[in-house]
Structure 1
Amino acid sequence: MTTESGNDDASALHRLATRKAMAKLIPLMCAIYFMSFLDRTNVALAKTQLALDVGIDAAAYGLGAGIFFIGYALLEVPSNLAAHRFGPRLWIARIAVTWGVLSTLMMFVQGVWSFYVLRVLLGIAEAGLFPALMYMVTLWFAPKDRPVAVGWIYTAPALALVIGSPVGGALMQMNGLGGLHGWQWMFMLEGLPSVIVGVLLYFMLPDRPRDARWLSPAQAAVLEERAVIDAHGHPELTSADWIAALKRHSTVLIGLIYFLNQVAFVGLYFFAPAMIHQMNVTSPFVIGLLAGSVGIGFLLGVLILPRIHRRLDNDCVYLGWLTVGMLAGACAYIATHGPMARIVWLAVTSFFGGGVLPSYWAIAMKRLQGIQAAAGLAFINTLGLLGGFAGPYLFGMTETLSGRSDSGFTVILAASVLGLALVPLLAKAIRREEGAGSIGMPAPGIHH
């Protein structure tokens, strides 16, 4: 009886500490991810003017938009190991300051090659931000609380599309002021705040619960006790760890489905302003406002869909229905021709394409533990980054061939069909792993 009472007290303490950590940390983590996404995607609003002012056509723009993800992917694991070595607070602040500077330097683009170079450098500078945020989640939150934390973090890029698109469009209307193009004002006035936010985070973001002055020693201890993945050390990912993680067919299949999702969804949000411009909308502010429909759909998706997922037992059936939803949204967009109807279908497609993202991580985290989780999740995220490169590039190629930005919806159709075809294979792999007992017992100290 005493033991049960002690466990109840510890659980109540952990719930209280988790609520405090969510309230204190999630806004800071969302702020930095918001700024990174704003600086990563504001180039979409500049696409038309970059073509006119410095000669960057659709194919070159698509390659430049996507090439950001190459440097990011290549430095994904080294950057995350640096976050472990130096602490996420210092590393996240460093990332923010360097990418803010480089985003500001985008105002000096003179042609295709300077555009490519700065986009590659921007990806290198930002490499590891999302994994560092996920690493912080493992330091602070128990496994059962992580999908909720990740879902909240995903509201940041959604809000960046909702808010950033009209704000960027308004900044674009400063064209000619001070002898600068509107896109130059946008890159400068959206890049410099990232530097400021990075400096502030260095002083405001504690590395671990034990460093937080707003937690009692008992609260800090119970958080660290139940956030167990880092407690056993062994942060380095060896070849054996990678091989062990990749022996799980479910990990590989989740990564491939995520890759296809990113091909479709990243291409969509990089080309949405251009699609709206071809609806005979000329005002940069109105284009930005209407492009925010992608962010609205994304935001509703990450707020609603993970909560539905928590009530369902069959992950693969759920994943299949969301993929069908994205496919249906794309089909409806192609089948309609009215501008307002198409804006609605942009939002619907984004609802499913973006809203599914927290569920990918929840499904993967459920089946990976310890160092295999670190290796497996890094592998999945790397595939997603490669999809982020392929998507804008393919969208740019289809626009070059057809002359229409919205021809990129054929890429969404193809990626969705391929993703849907992989879902039954994922279900089969999960059944086989569970039948073979490959998931095993929970790691010591994990409380489900």
Structure 2
Amino acid sequence: MSTNTVESQADLKRVVSRVTKRLIPILLLMYILAFLDRSNLGFAKDAWQADTGISDAAYALGAGIFFIGYAVFEVPSNLMMQRVGAKIWLARIMVSWGIVSSLMMFATNEWLFYGLRVLLGITEAGFFPGVILFLTYWIPLDYRARVNGLFYFGAPLAFIFGGPLSGLLLDLDGLGGMHGWQIMFLVTGIVTVIVGIIAFYYLDNGPKTAKWIGEKDREILLSALSLEETSKESHSPRGAWKALFSPAVLYFSAAFLTIQMSVYGITFYLPTQIAEIVGKPVGFEVGLLTSVPWICALIATFLLTRLADSTGQRRLIATCALAAAGLGIVLSGVIENPILALAAMCLGAAGFISVQPVFWTLPTSFLTGAAAASGIALINSIGNLGGFLAPIAKNAAEESFGPSAGLILLAIIAFIGAALIAASRYVNKILRATDGTKALDTFAVEVHNNPTEKAQNPNNTEFSK
């Protein structure tokens, strides 16, 4: 390997590191607020239901109905972001969902609750797939799992810090004549609006327009991204509409649906599960305990995303992580010992959080242009229907078969998702025959990350078998 090649690899790593330090803090804060907005409903559940008289069935429906509006508007939102630019669109999403989130303080009956949850889904639609698409504008594939992973820190951090914060806000019950859950929705909504305004002035649409990047660094980054885009062109569906009907995209959508069902089936109920284990009401102390599984998720995500990038074994790592999530979920439902039950929740949270940033390297490794905008959004929108289905399925299973049946069902779904990811290499042989794209094992996405090999053949798009 030539000295120049070694230097170019070092330069690219340095530029990616600088970009990461610039973008991830604000994107991470935005995602923390997005996840905190969703988890707030779980923290408010007991006190809110006690004050409003809303039933468990209505809660489950309202918790899940958010994802109907979210799913319907995902693809249009991502296509709009591609047209108007990331900074204005991501900021618009945050400001509008922050306003609606604050209005949740007025959800005192079922119909107001349902309406605000649908509206919240519509206003937040496009945020997550928008960020995933936005990162492809900045981060080459070889670094994407770990950068995705840093963005995904938002989920566990929302629970590590958000859990105690939500509990503390709930404990302010009576302040200003408001219930604790009203204070919680109001405060977090206002903070979201403020961060959305900051994001508008802080973000850039891409490397070409960023004034904080020097010309030399800009050329290094754009050259790497251009090389990646060129390698995708013969493998990606042509255009936004073809991506929506691509068998490969639909396969990823099914896999992501199973991931999201495992995530939201527990997320909505974790605070009450912890409260039952320790025998105390949801508040500051329970909020502290709910942070433990998310600390484990944070560590797992940090380690596994770096392992995925360094070894290239993204498919295998994603499979194992989701299988571990399923194991943790089922054990948390059948183990009676409080400490072991909490350990099982830690395994479950670590698995279903760490699998996601690795999973997203798979579709973004071959989708490009408008196909990337619509394909990423479709995968996320179908996947997030899991947020609608999971609470309902969990509730139905528990009513029919007992208290542990809901978590066992979600564990089975996680195992099915792990099997889909594991089988993707072989299924792709059938799918690519109908996909209309060049033969490439896009599902394996186990790129050889050996710098020497890349230097000798920089145009190599061969995926390991």
- Tell me if TM exceeds 0.5: yes
1:116 and 1:403 mapped to 2: Cα distance?
27
In the alignment, does 2:63 pair up with 1:65?
A: yes
Native 8 Å contact 1:80 1:128 kept in 2: yes
Per-residue CA distance 1:240-277 (angstroms, 9 max, x = gap)? 3433xx233xx433321221121111110111112223
Aligned equivalent of 2:439: 438
Kindly state the Cα deviation for residue 432 of structure 1 after the two structures are TM-superposed. 5.6
Native 8 Å contact 2:242 2:371 kept in 1: no
2:424 and 2:411 mapped to 1: Cα distance?
20
Question: Are the structure 2 counterparts of residues 423 and 207 from structure 1 closer, same or farther at C-alpha, using a change threshold of 3 Å?
Answer: closer
TM-score by structure 1 length?
A: 0.88
Aligned equivalent of 1:116: 114
Q: Which moved more, 1:96-105 or 1:357-366?
A: 357-366
In the alignment, does 2:340 pair up with 1:338?
A: no
Kindly state the Cα deviation for residue 32 of structure 1 after the two structures are TM-superposed. 0.9
Kindly state the Cα deviation for residue 367 of structure 1 after the two structures are TM-superposed. 4.5
In the alignment, does 2:262 pair up with 1:261?
A: no
2:360 and 2:61 mapped to 1: Cα distance?
27
Question: Are the structure 2 counterparts of residues 313 and 433 from structure 1 closer, same or farther at C-alpha, using a change threshold of 3 Å?
Answer: farther
Per-residue CA distance 1:56-99 (angstroms, 9 max, x = gap)? 22221111111111111111111112212221111111111111
In the alignment, does 2:239 pair up with 1:240?
A: no
2:19 and 2:421 mapped to 1: Cα distance?
35
Alignment of 1:217-228 (within 5 A): 217-228=215-226
1:217 and 1:260 mapped to 2: Cα distance?
44
TM-score by structure 2 length?
A: 0.85
1:90 and 1:437 mapped to 2: Cα distance?
35
Native 8 Å contact 2:60 2:395 kept in 1: yes
Alignment of 1:260-409 (within 5 A): 260-279=258-277, 280-312=279-311, 315-369=314-368, 371-399=370-398, 404=403, 407-409=405-407
Q: CA RMSD in A?
A: 3.1
Question: Are the structure 2 counterparts of residues 364 and 103 from structure 1 closer, same or farther at C-alpha, using a change threshold of 3 Å?
Answer: same
The aligned amino acid for 1:71 is: G
Native 8 Å contact 1:95 1:125 kept in 2: yes
Aligned equivalent of 1:159: 157
Aligned equivalent of 1:414: 412
The aligned amino acid for 1:239 is: W
The aligned amino acid for 2:132 is: M
The aligned amino acid for 1:297 is: C
Native 8 Å contact 2:240 2:371 kept in 1: no
The aligned amino acid for 1:120 is: V
Aligned equivalent of 1:172: 170
Aligned equivalent of 2:28: 30
2:373 and 2:460 mapped to 1: Cα distance?
19
Native 8 Å contact 1:62 1:392 kept in 2: yes
1:206 and 1:313 mapped to 2: Cα distance?
30
What is the total number of aligned residue pairs between the two structures? 440
Q: Secondary structure at the match of 1:227?
A: helix
Native 8 Å contact 1:34 1:160 kept in 2: yes
In the alignment, does 2:253 pair up with 1:252?
A: no
Native 8 Å contact 2:139 2:225 kept in 1: yes
Native 8 Å contact 2:169 2:180 kept in 1: yes
1:424 and 1:206 mapped to 2: Cα distance?
37
Identity across matched positions, percent: 31
Q: Secondary structure at the match of 1:356?
A: helix
Per-residue CA distance 1:115-163 (angstroms, 9 max, x = gap)? 1111111111111111221222122122222222211100111100111
The aligned amino acid for 1:240 is: K
Native 8 Å contact 2:126 2:377 kept in 1: no
The aligned amino acid for 1:301 is: A
Aligned equivalent of 2:453: none
2:311 and 2:68 mapped to 1: Cα distance?
36
1:10 and 1:311 mapped to 2: Cα distance?
18
Question: Are the structure 2 counterparts of residues 313 and 13 from structure 1 closer, same or farther at C-alpha, using a change threshold of 3 Å?
Answer: closer
Question: Are the structure 2 counterparts of residues 91 and 380 from structure 1 closer, same or farther at C-alpha, using a change threshold of 3 Å?
Answer: same
1:283 and 1:434 mapped to 2: Cα distance?
50
Native 8 Å contact 1:209 1:215 kept in 2: yes
Native 8 Å contact 2:260 2:386 kept in 1: yes
Question: What 5-or-longer segments of structure 1 have no aligned partner?
Answer: none
2:8 and 2:150 mapped to 1: Cα distance?
25
1:278 and 1:440 mapped to 2: Cα distance?
47
2:299 and 2:19 mapped to 1: Cα distance?
24
Per-residue CA distance 1:12-66 (angstroms, 9 max, x = gap)? 4433222211111111111111111111221110111121111222221111111
The aligned amino acid for 2:62 is: G
Native 8 Å contact 1:59 1:400 kept in 2: no
Aligned equivalent of 1:146: 144
Kindly state the Cα deviation for residue 113 of structure 1 after the two structures are TM-superposed. 1.0
Q: Secondary structure at the match of 1:278?
A: helix
Kindly state the Cα deviation for residue 433 of structure 1 after the two structures are TM-superposed. 6.8
1:235 and 1:331 mapped to 2: Cα distance?
38
Q: Secondary structure at the match of 2:365?
A: helix
Native 8 Å contact 1:102 1:122 kept in 2: yes
The aligned amino acid for 2:352 is: G
2:432 and 2:383 mapped to 1: Cα distance?
25
1:142 and 1:382 mapped to 2: Cα distance?
24
